[in-house]
Amino acid sequence: MEAEAVVKDWWLYHGTGEGTERRARLETGSPPPWRDFTGSPDPGYEPPGCEGPAWERTRRRGEGYVPDEQEKDVVNTALHLRRPLLITGKPGVGKSTLAYSIASDLGLGPVLHWPITSRTVLRDGLYLYDAIGRLQEAGLEQLRRPAVPVGPAATAAPPGTLPTPRPGPAAGPEPDPDPAHAPSISRYLRLGPLGTALLPQDRPRVLLVDEIDKSDIDLPGDLLTVFEDGGFTIPELARLAQEDPTVAIGTDDDPHARVRLTQGRVQCHYFPVVVLTSNGERDFPPAFLRRCVRLHLEPPGPEKLALIVRRRLGVDVEAGGEYQELVRDFIDRAGDGDLATDQLLNAIQLRLAGAWSAPGDRDRFLRTVMQHLTGPTA
């Protein structure tokens, strides 16, 4: 089928050669001059690679995705231009899964996931600062220190010396001149998914910004500066730069993994592969759209559905009349309201397990597992 046969020389995603070779072409390729960033990787920080549970989740989800030629063209355009990819389409067409497919195909490590709600602000994606926890720890440290002696024992002085004045009623404990007693700010800072993706690394990371159309009206505009600069500054660290210019903090992948930041600055080396998804619940400002490469996903047709079923479940739809009929039922029901592709997968998985096998159960079976997401019967 065309979705599997077409391969173009300039493609990185689903192009010619092994994934490691295509990733090397991505890493060594010349970006546009305005997308060339200068961050230097921390040699002591090792980002997650293609192993472990997080990678297995990314790989399993991504390998089942079936992109067509248009999708490959647009994804590779975004990769070459080092621009965010804005994917629109109805719920359930595979917008989020495409991010996992890119990471899996090019071996870019686990996907960083940033789900968006109406309360999300830019800082949520850049970094997290537990200011309350730091204040509580500072209070505990104050209680642990020896109390300043008061009363006659404190004011008694050896013969020939002047007595130490007794502190007044409003006087508190004397400040500790040793800054080592103060809790380090690094323990209360952690990079968010966007901040982790922007770390200077030897290979770009994939960041999924999920359902950005649900955000506050200001978030797309706030993202523009970060996307253009390829970095940001953490103010809490910048204020301490004179006393402690280099601080190690945790990442979104692992709060215990320490990456060193200088002057509180995060600056990427490779611009990350940023995938933004939208269900079309709102429009975006032209300045934001201009900086994105856009892709609209249509619901899959019969041939693509058959490929998805084979990739996901190992079932050859063409060889089984019952499964062909389920695909036709899915397409027919989608004409009356939106359905998600995984609803078809659920239906086939149930029939593989022998569930809902009684002839009289078919209508109830379809209504149960292929319930409309939109429309009058949703």
pLDDT reported for residue 158: 54
More confident residue, 322 or 179: 322
**What DSSP character marks residue 205?**
P
Taking the C-alpha atoms of residue 39 and residue 201, their distance in angstroms, rounded to an integer, is 8
> Stretch 96-110: mean pLDDT, rounded?
97
Q: Is 279 exposed, middle or buried (0-12, 13-18, 19+ CB in 10 A)?
A: middle
Summarised one tens digit per residue, pLDDT across range 48-94 is: 999 999 999 999 999 989 999 999 999 999 999 999 999 999 999 99
pLDDT reported for residue 97: 97
Taking the C-alpha atoms of residue 197 and residue 231, their distance in angstroms, rounded to an integer, is 10
pLDDT reported for residue 134: 61
More confident residue, 64 or 101: 101
> Stretch 210-235: mean pLDDT, rounded?
96
Taking the C-alpha atoms of residue 177 and residue 343, their distance in angstroms, rounded to an integer, is 64
Q: How confident is the model at residue 104 (pLDDT cuts 50, 70, 90)?
A: very high
Checking if the pLDDT of 250 tops 90, the result is yes
pLDDT reported for residue 44: 93
Alpha carbon distances (Å) from 190 to 28, 89, 105, 148, 242: 30, 33, 29, 36, 21
pLDDT reported for residue 148: 54
Q: How confident is the model at residue 168 (pLDDT cuts 50, 70, 90)?
A: very low
pLDDT reported for residue 159: 53
Share of the chain above pLDDT 70, in %: 84
First to last CA, the chain: 34
Checking if the pLDDT of 133 tops 90, the result is no
Q: How confident is the model at residue 141 (pLDDT cuts 50, 70, 90)?
A: low
Mean pLDDT estimate for the chain: 87
pLDDT reported for residue 191: 97
Question: How many Cβ atoms sit within 10 Å of the Cβ of residue 269?
Answer: 20
Alpha-carbon dihedral sign for residues 303, 305, 308, 314: negative
Q: How confident is the model at residue 144 (pLDDT cuts 50, 70, 90)?
A: low
Length of the chain equals 378
Nearest to 167 by CA among 150, 181, 180: 150
Of 79-88, 137-146, 240-249, least confident by mean pLDDT is: 137-146
Q: Where are the alpha helices (DSSP H) in the chain?
A: 2-5, 19-28, 53-63, 69-81, 95-106, 122-126, 131-144, 152-155, 193-197, 219-229, 235-238, 286-290, 302-313, 321-334, 341-352, 362-369
The four Cα atoms 84, 89, 92, 93 give a dihedral, to 10 degrees, of -80
**Hey, what are 273's tokens?**
């592969």
Of 138-147, 185-194, 239-248, 277-286, least confident by mean pLDDT is: 138-147
Summarised one tens digit per residue, pLDDT across range 341-360 is: 999 999 999 999 999 988 88
Checking if the pLDDT of 120 tops 50, the result is yes
Largest CA distance in the chain: 108
Checking if the pLDDT of 157 tops 60, the result is no
Q: How confident is the model at residue 320 (pLDDT cuts 50, 70, 90)?
A: confident
Q: Are 305 and 334 within 8 A, CB to CB? A: no
Alpha-carbon dihedral sign for residues 319, 57, 97, 330: positive
pLDDT reported for residue 241: 86
